[in-house]
Amino acid sequence: MKDFSRWSKEEIKTLFKFVEIKKSEGMPLIQIFFNYAQATKRHTNSVRNYYYKELSLMQNNVDFAKELNINLDNHEVVRGIPFSKEEQTKMLEQIEKLLSQGFSVRKACLKLADGDASKMIRLQNKYRAIVKQKGENNSMGEIIKMPQNKTGLSDEDVKALFMGLIKLVKKQEYENAKLTLKGELFDANEKLKDAMAKLAVKENQISKLKEQIVLVKNQLDTQKQESIKRRVNSVSKTKSASSLVREYFKQTNLAVNKAEN
């Protein structure tokens, strides 16, 4: 068994936050794990197993959950609901009947679950467990059982089976593409949020630079005004001194002229 390798604290916080958000939007856990796996380039089963393993550890170490700011009330370990003997017998009969009609195990379980992914997984896992116990050969729903009530297949049977296979493949590819797109959209949305946050920081920096430029301009204007005042005062003083000198010489000349006369 592979040893449990813990992710970084930031990775754990991101995973649990992603689960919280998508659960609040009504998305089933199986799809949440798939989307997260697509966005982080991991395997869906690895994400699911890690989430439950980490959640179990946090429930026994509440302080660690608080350190990561994770509210355990928003997370719970999904406990398996055991099948009664009657439910198990009925389930086996229904799946075997659908298999005889050309359904795969996965498709049969999905039909019995009325399209509910979580119920489909529960039925599929139980069926495979029973098949494994019986020692029968099963390949995870990849092998389609042929009708058991006929000794041969007509051309129409083969054609119907072939068309059914094409529809199944197309639908599966469509579902995979849709889920992949959702994962890519989530990744793009996160990148957009990051870009918007960086842009907001840049805008704040630009705003502060503008404020600093205005402040410097005001300081320069003030210094310029003070310089002009000093020059005016200097000129005024110089003119006053010159006037006094001229007045002195004027008075002196008058005195000299009077003396000569």
Burial of residue 160 (number of CB atoms within 10 Å: 0-12, 13-18, 19+): middle
Backbone angles phi, psi at 75, to 5 degrees: -135, 145
Length of the chain: 261
pLDDT score recorded for residue 145 = 44
The owner of tokens 């009657």 is 86
122/83 Cα distance (integer angstroms): 10
Q: Which tokens in the block code for residue 37?
A: 């796996």
CA distances to 85, 88, 119, 123 from 82, in Å: 10, 9, 13, 11
pLDDT score recorded for residue 242 = 63
Ordered per-residue pLDDT tens for the chain, 261 residues: 344 567 899 999 999 999 999 988 888 888 899 999 999 999 888 898 899 889 988 988 889 989 999 988 888 766 556 778 888 899 999 999 999 999 999 899 989 988 877 688 778 888 888 888 776 544 444 443 444 444 455 566 566 666 766 766 667 777 777 777 777 777 777 777 777 778 778 888 888 888 888 888 888 888 888 877 787 676 555 556 667 667 767 777 766 666 666
86/99 Cα distance (integer angstroms): 20
Backbone angles phi, psi at 84, to 5 degrees: -80, 165
pLDDT score recorded for residue 4 = 55
Name every residue whose Cβ is closer than 8 Å to that of residue 197 and which is 6 or more positions away in sequence.
none
252/232 Cα distance (integer angstroms): 30
C-alpha closest to that of 23 among 55, 46, 53: 55
The owner of tokens 């005042």 is 229
CA distances to 42, 82, 188 from 192, in Å: 22, 44, 6
Q: Are 156 and 135 a contacting pair, CB within 8 Å?
A: no
Name every residue whose Cβ is closer than 8 Å to that of residue 76 and which is 6 or more positions away in sequence.
55
C-alpha closest to that of 105 among 92, 95, 119: 95
